[in-house]
Amino acid sequence: MSQPLIIALAQQSDQGSAAANLDDCETAIRTAANRGCSLVLLQELHNSSYFCQVEDPALFDLAEPIPGPTTERLSRLARELQMVIVGSVFERRAPGLYHNTAVVLDVDGSLAGIYRKMHVPDAPSYYEKYYFTPGDLGFNPIDTAIGRLGVLVSWDQWFPEAARAMALAGAQILLYPTAIGWNPNDSAAEQTRQLDAWVTVQRGHAVANGLTLAACNRVGFEPEPRGSGAGTRFWGSSFVCGPQGEMLAQADSQTPKLLIAEVNLVRTEQVRRSWSFLRDRRIDAYGDLGRRYRD
């Protein structure tokens, strides 16, 4: 891609229903198209609230197959608007088998590929292991009309191995749909540390791999559904940074935002010629990285 690429990140708050959330996504996608964007990145699990704050078997009813209603709607929009759309689906693969899955619709409306979230957390307010089976498709970029997209999901963003694996497979940009926020009971200092860590680790992935990176996060307060917890205030702060970690655009932590940035994927070649991290990797000495821990 020798020409700059205009991309959009749809930082949104829950609208209360799947229908309303998808309408909100469509509005954002159409606005992005009108502003010349070639790619739109939606946030993680954009059809619903972040339901993983609790473990409830009834919530498996939110899942849908791929292809299914969400991919069909995003496909129509991608074809009509001639743009690439990266969405997020609670995938029902089979009875009792579910995934947290990113879907990529190409400019002709075809399903270019999917990525099933590989790293699945289990922590207070993030009980994802109850709902999602870890991904089994590996770290494989998805080819589209605008380039090879290294799509990862949320908790994946903390793991340098995931970003590196995508880079080694030829990804031209790293994309992270995500849902992460604060416990409102945490101190202001702790909240600042958490947000800074989230931004810093991802900028590090961009630098270490010489790739542009975009992270799209949800925003707004969502109460714990059973009323027994503090709920989660999602911190938004969606951003795009370049291959040296330079910040190209960032949303705030309080409000929905269609964040638009111009990126130039050719800069990967320029940056890697000076910062030759891939050349200088000691692949002969990394055997222990395949172990859980070196006892």
pLDDT tens figures, 195-212: 999 999 999 999 999 999
Among the ranges given (125-129, 224-228, 256-260, 268-272), the one the predictor scored with the smallest mean pLDDT: 224-228
pLDDT at 1 (0 to 100): 58
Whole-number average pLDDT of the chain: 97
- pLDDT, tens only, 161-186: 999 999 999 999 999 999 999 999 99
Range of the domain at 12: 5-281
**How many Å is the Cα radius of gyration of the chain?**
18
Residue 240, strand partner residues: 214, 249
pLDDT at 216 (0 to 100): 98
Amino acid at 286: Y
Calculate ∠ Cα 188-191-193, nearest 5°.
110
pLDDT at 150 (0 to 100): 98
Average pLDDT on 246-269 reads 97
Q: In this model, does residue 227 exceed pLDDT 90? A: no
CATH of the domain at 61: 3.60.110.10
pLDDT at 228 (0 to 100): 82
In a domain, 28, yes or no: yes
Rounded distance, CA 217 to CA 152, Å? 13
Amino acid at 147: G
- pLDDT band for position 287 (cuts 50, 70, 90): very high
Closest by CA position to 181, among listed 139, 136, 135, 231: 231
In a domain, 287, yes or no: no
Dihedral, CA of residue 223, residue 228, residue 230 and residue 233, to nearest 10: -20
Q: In this model, does residue 37 exceed pLDDT 80? A: yes
pLDDT at 226 (0 to 100): 87
pLDDT at 2 (0 to 100): 67
* Percent of the chain with pLDDT strictly greater than 70: 99
Domain count within the chain: 1
pTM value surpassing 0.95: yes
Between helices 18-34 and 69-81, what is the axis angle to 10°? Answer: 20
In a domain, 289, yes or no: no
In a domain, 241, yes or no: yes
In a domain, 292, yes or no: no
Among the ranges given (42-46, 187-191, 223-227, 239-243), the one the predictor scored with the smallest mean pLDDT: 223-227
- pLDDT band for position 264 (cuts 50, 70, 90): very high
Average pLDDT on 214-222 reads 98
Sign of torsion, CA 279 284 285 290?
A: positive
| Other C-beta atoms lying within 10 Å of the C-beta of residue 288 | 8
In a domain, 295, yes or no: no
In the numeric block, which tokens belong to residue 117? 């979230």
In a domain, 291, yes or no: no
- pLDDT, tens only, 63-94: 999 999 999 999 999 999 999 999 999 999 99
- pLDDT band for position 215 (cuts 50, 70, 90): very high
Average pLDDT on 20-25 reads 98
In a domain, 211, yes or no: yes
